[in-house]
Structure 1
Amino acid sequence: MRFHYSFQKVVDLKTNEKAQAEWMLSTAVGQLQLEEQTLQQLMSEKSRMEHMIQQAATGCVSLLKLQEMQAYIEHLNQCISQKYSDVQRAELNVQKNKDHLTDKIVDEKVWLKAREKARISFQQELLLREQNELDEMATIRYAMRAR
């Protein structure tokens, strides 16, 4: 006789939900890394432009060119500020997905534990049945010898 858990489809569903939550967390982490990489590129570009302005200040560069460079740095500052907001949003999304995954893991563990308890109970009942059958066979043999 094989063990059949009547709520196996629920266990399978919980396992699938956990896998989906893992995938969502992975996607959120990838998005966070992308946002951080973009922020790093913007900061690098800003640093490069500031260095160019310092070099231009020591040399002969037109005032118009310096103003263009400064305007570009202002634009980069706005982009960096926006990117910090994007990074924070991505971090919150990662945290939300971590919490969601934790909930799904706990939920799955509860159902797996319930299935394991049911399996143990089934095995104990099976052993009890076998023992009763053996006891009955021994009783019948004893009764047949006693005649």
Structure 2
Amino acid sequence: MKFQYAFQKIVDLKSNEKTQAEWMLSSAIGKLQAEEKSLNELYRLREQMYAAEQEAVTRCAAIAEIRNIQSYAQYLEECIERKRNDIRLAHVNVTKKQEILSEKMLDEKVWLKARDKSHEKFRHESLLREQNELDELATVRFAIKAR
């Protein structure tokens, strides 16, 4: 007789939910990494603008050119601030996804533990049945030999 867990579909569902939560966390981490990469690129551009401004000042460039560089550097500062906010939001999202994954993992673990207990009970009962059958056979053999 083979073991069949009555709630196997629920165990499968919980496993699928956990896998889905892992994908969602992976996606959130990927978004966070993309935001951080974008921020690093903005930092690099800002440094280039500061270097260009210094170079323009040292070569006595036109005031309009220096103002354009400063204006673009200011725009980059605003972009950096928005990107920092995006990163904060991405961190919050990653944290939420981690919490959801932890919850899903706990749910799955509970159902797997229940299945394991049920399997162990089934195995114990099977062993008892088998032992009873062997005892009965031994009793019948003894009775036949005793006649």
> TM-score under structure 2 normalisation?
0.98
Cα separation, 1, equivalents of 2:52 and 2:60 = 12
What's the secondary structure of 2:39's corresponding residue? Answer: helix
Give the equivalent residue in structure 2 for 1:52: 52
CA offset at residue 142 of structure 1?
1.0
Cα separation, 1, equivalents of 2:51 and 2:75 = 16
What's the secondary structure of 2:4's corresponding residue? Answer: coil
Q: Where in structure 1 do 4 or more consecutive aligned residues deviate above 2 Å?
A: none
2:19 is equivalent to residue 31 of structure 1 = no
Q: Can you list the C-alpha shifts for 1:26-76, whole angstroms capped at 9, x where unaligned?
A: 000000000000000011100100011011111121000111111101111
The residue identity in structure 1 corresponding to 2:143 is: A
Give the equivalent residue in structure 1 for 2:112: 112
Q: Can you list the C-alpha shifts for 1:51-103, whole angstroms capped at 9, x where unaligned?
A: 11011111121000111111101111110000000000001101110111111
Give the equivalent residue in structure 1 for 2:8: 8
- In the TM superposition, 1:73-84 aligns within 5 A as 73-84=73-84
Q: Can you list the C-alpha shifts for 1:13-37, whole angstroms capped at 9, x where unaligned?
A: 0000000000000000000000000
Cα separation, 2, equivalents of 1:56 and 1:68 = 11
What's the secondary structure of 1:142's corresponding residue? Answer: helix
What's the secondary structure of 1:61's corresponding residue? Answer: coil
Which ranges of structure 1 fall in alignment gaps of 5 or more residues? Answer: none
Give the equivalent residue in structure 2 for 1:72: 72
How many residue pairs get aligned? The number is 147
Cα separation, 2, equivalents of 1:69 and 1:117 = 70
- In the TM superposition, 1:63-142 aligns within 5 A as 63-142=63-142
> Sequence identity of aligned pairs in percent?
50
RMSD: 0.6
Cα separation, 1, equivalents of 2:60 and 2:128 = 98
CA offset at residue 146 of structure 1?
1.4
What's the secondary structure of 2:53's corresponding residue? Answer: helix
Cα separation, 2, equivalents of 1:57 and 1:65 = 10
> TM-score under structure 1 normalisation?
0.98
